A and B are shown apart, each in its own frame.
Chain A
């Protein structure tokens, strides 16, 4: 019964989503409040029914209802409760429902927090979101229905892929989707502006809040995923340039460009067309990511075996959304206008350069990700583009962006005198260069790439410090008070930029000084890696809630200090014989010690991976700092005052 309720709710939601967009657009074009408010109510009703559908599926998983095909293929009785629920998005159908539910949630949020917007604009906004919802609901109902019955019911389910049975599975997909789908709001804002033919700094301010929230989610979601891969896949890598990772990274790059471009549109009424275009691209790339991940064209942990009609549907939907948006852009953009002028050396031009770099970087990633797919689709053979391509190209492309980050903080809007910029930043530059050259030597071995990476990081840090100092001199009270009193948006920017620096430090040092050893070890054997001695004390058998495991025992000792015990596991899940590597990691601010079991060799020896990963945690900490910067910026009174006034 419950699955049928879920199914019917989805159908009702589809009807309401159609009503949502029809009424909203009708109301907006004829300026009739009745239609506009009908569209609004339909949007809220649509959210209600999508929620019911989502909860129904959740209940089917909770009660292990194996008469539902999707539940039977992704869950079983032995699965711990948190993974039963996370299994909702463990397969194709459920992830699409999560996508749609997230979209509904964003729509609901927009209906609540958009009361200050002009009525027609608001209606167009909600209408656009309705159209996207219609597309996804049709997709679910006609090709990926998670409520399909399995008759006769299965006695036991097939269970969730053991790789996905991890706390990461509970957080990573919903957070990532909040980000992905959140760009639909920015997209809808852009479409609404194009339809209305008006785009002013007000518009940029509204859009900015929504875009920033989506960007925060996306940043955190990607960081979660990266960290999960680091401890779960057993290779100790944090980014593999896997096509699916790239699929989430491309919208992030364009989204980051969008945030910066929106700042210019808000403050200077410039870059208008460019901003609109970025908003369209950010969401298009989210859709492209969905296509790549869900159509089965890629092999990866994220891709579920699925039939080609699904891929075709998403591709067609992608074409309609992107094509439609770009045609609208071509027709309406001249009406919106270019916006204000600016000098060659100004904050605008630095931000423009930053935008160009971000988009080029996105293009680089896209080339490497899509080219093999095109060749394959055209029957021209199978190729793959490995991490070396991305590493050799991505770093030089991004390097100028990091340099510009330092300059942009100082330059003023409209026009900046180059000599004054140079004189203010010469010390920051000298300090960065000296530290970047000296630090790698102190760490033991001088490497040019490490030096370059650190130069970028120190440059960002020193320029941020100089800027902070300039602001502080003007303030009064003690140091902490002065920092607190700075504008929130400025604090956010500094924090996010420092996050980038922290991230770069992590990437650079783990790449430059990481040690990786694959060894054969017998019980009692010792091996010295860096200043640590790893002793293998043998293995024991243990059991988990739904798996059996072989646990390895390692004692790691340094010349002084207490020894550390590391216990990596090799698990085999009962439902299938698929083994799983569970690495043991001693996390630290300066370095991670990473041990994982390979395979049992003859007699009692094991293949063992021993890694030392210096500063690897800085990578994710940097990402969280970026997200934190975004959150701080949201609290800038500039955005809140507007909302309060509108409410009161």
Chain B
């Protein structure tokens, strides 16, 4: 009888511990998910307001402006349909280039400027970040629907 109680206590303690752990894990998981939106989606207002998310696309040619005395950078991320102004203070990754794919993580403020706290590089020149490629692909299908023609650089995800 006694050993049976012991075993039951053991199992109950185990289950409670697992339940607590699972709750904590799932909670942390939910609050740390970062969603991805294309510039078009952001423009339509689908992106959240005060939560950090990711955008992807191409850095528009000629859009990069550097501040004269700080590390602030401004550039435009586009999926060839919509453009989003991005502000980032810090050092841009080695492979950041105008006309190339980019992914930025940050928050959108009231006037529609995206304040990035992280700009992600790709590791290889032949490589397009999948998020950026996705944004271009979606824009491409949209273009086809509206009958516009636009040359999209080939993406290799």
Contact = CB atoms under 8 A, between A and B. Distances in A.
Interface in A592-626: 598-599, 601-602, 607, 609
A344 interface: yes
Given A364-B25, A397-B21, A161 B123 contact: yes
Most buried by A among B21, B92, B94, B134: B94
Contacts of A296: 157
B124 A301 contact: yes
A382 interface: yes
A389 B28 CA distance: 6
Contact of B71 (A382, A520, A578): A520
Contacts of A581: 94
Interface stretch (B31-39, B106-114, B145-153): B31-39
A607 B91 contact: yes
B91 A381 contact: no
B36 A520 contact: no
A520 B29 contact: no
B32 A599 contact: no
A163 interface: yes
B109 to A, nearest CB: 21
A383 B36 contact: yes
B79 interface: no
A392 B28 contact: yes
Nearest to A158: B126
B6 interface: yes
B154 interface: no
A600 to B, nearest CB: 10
Contacts of A381: 35-36
Nearest to B92: A599
B68 to A, nearest CB: 7
B9 to A, nearest CB: 9
Interface in A375-402: 381-386, 388-389, 392-393, 396-397
Contacts, number: 88
A31 interface: no
A389 B71 CA distance: 29
Interface residues of A, number: 40
A576 B125 contact: yes
B92 A382 contact: no
A383 B94 CA distance: 24
A563 B129 CA distance: 42
Contact of B129 (A299, A371, A396, A609): A299
- Interface on chain B toward A: helix, strand, loop, or mixed SS? loop
B44 interface: no
B130 A393 contact: no
A646 interface: no
Interface string A140-177: 00000000000000000000010100000000000000
Interface in A409-435: none
A373 to B, nearest CB: 11
B100 to A, nearest CB: 11
Contact of A388 (B32, B35, B156): B32
B70 interface: yes
A519 interface: yes
Contact of B127 (A305, A368, A599): A305
B83 interface: no
Given A305-B126, A383-B35, A384-B34, A368 B29 contact: yes
A607 B122 contact: no
Contacts of A383: 33-36
Contacts of A599: 91-92
A393 B28 contact: yes
Interface string B58-99: 000000001011110000000000000000001110110000
Interface string A329-369: 00000000000000010000000000000001000100110
B95 A382 contact: no
Contacts of B94: 234, 578-581
B32 A389 contact: yes
Interface in B1-36: 6, 10, 21, 24-25, 28-29, 32-36
Given A299-B123, A383-B33, A519-B71, 6 more contacts: A234-B94, A296-B157, A383-B36, A389-B29, A580-B94, A607-B91
Interface of B: 6, 10, 21, 24-25, 28-29, 32-36, 54, 66, 68-71, 90-92, 94-95, 122-127, 129-131, 134, 156-157
11 contacts: A163-B124, A364-B25, A367-B25, A382-B134, A384-B54, A385-B34, A518-B71, A579-B95, A580-B94, A598-B71, A599-B91
